[in-house]
Every structure is written in C-alpha cells, then in structure tokens.
C-alpha cells in the first residue's frame, strides 16, 4: 500500500511518518529550512501532550526530527498517489 522513502527529507505533504504497530502521523510541512521540526496531523496521542481530549480527535502537532528517528519512525508514501 505504501513505500518506504529514503529519508525524512523526501517527505511531501500528505506522506505518512510511521512507527510500525504503534503510531502514525501525516506530514504537513517542515517548520524550518533545516528540516529539524515538522508540522503534522495526528489522532489520539494523549500520552505525548498530557491532554486527554487529544485521544478522541485529529489535531495538528509538532514533532522534532531527532525524536522521530530515536523512536524508530519511518517515512512512507502511498503508492497510488497522484501529483
């Protein structure tokens, strides 16, 4: 259904960043030219923010590149996406 991208730097809006069998987020944009922090859509991550309402809704959030890599998230792109 999706293909692994070579690097987080290859992400385009709508691509996924996945921690297999755990959590997935949708990439919106990098917040800087250094690609060290990204804006994403996600649902249900009350543990990260401590806000129990996040568990039941989709919301925007920010993730640091180093944190994602440390926690084994990988970049993916849907195979049938049309530009």
For the ranges 26-30, 37-41, 43-47, 56-60, the lowest mean pLDDT is seen at 43-47
Beta-carbon contacts of 45 under 8 Å, excluding residues fewer than 6 positions away, are 23, 54, 55, 61
pLDDT category, 56, cuts 50, 70, 90? low
Rg of the Cα atoms in the chain = 13
Beta-carbon contacts of 18 under 8 Å, excluding residues fewer than 6 positions away, are 24, 25, 73, 74, 76
Instruction: State the chain's mean pLDDT as an integer.
Output: 89
Look at residue 46 in the predicted model and tell me its pLDDT.
52
Round to the nearest angstrom and report the end-to-end CA distance of the chain.
17
- For residue 47, pLDDT over 60 is answered with no
For the whole model, what pTM was predicted? 0.84
Structure tokens at 65: 């590149």
């Amino acid at each position: 259904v999706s293909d692994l991208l070579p690097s987080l730097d290859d992400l385009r809006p709508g691509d996924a960043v996945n921690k297999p069998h755990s959590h997935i987020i949708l990439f919106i944009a990098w917040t800087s030219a250094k690609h060290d922090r990204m804006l994403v859509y996600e649902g249900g991550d009350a543990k990260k923010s401590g806000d129990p309402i996040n568990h039941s809704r989709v919301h925007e959030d920010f993730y640091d590149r180093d944190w994602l890599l440390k926690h084994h998230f990988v970049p993916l792109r849907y195979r049938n996406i049309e530009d």
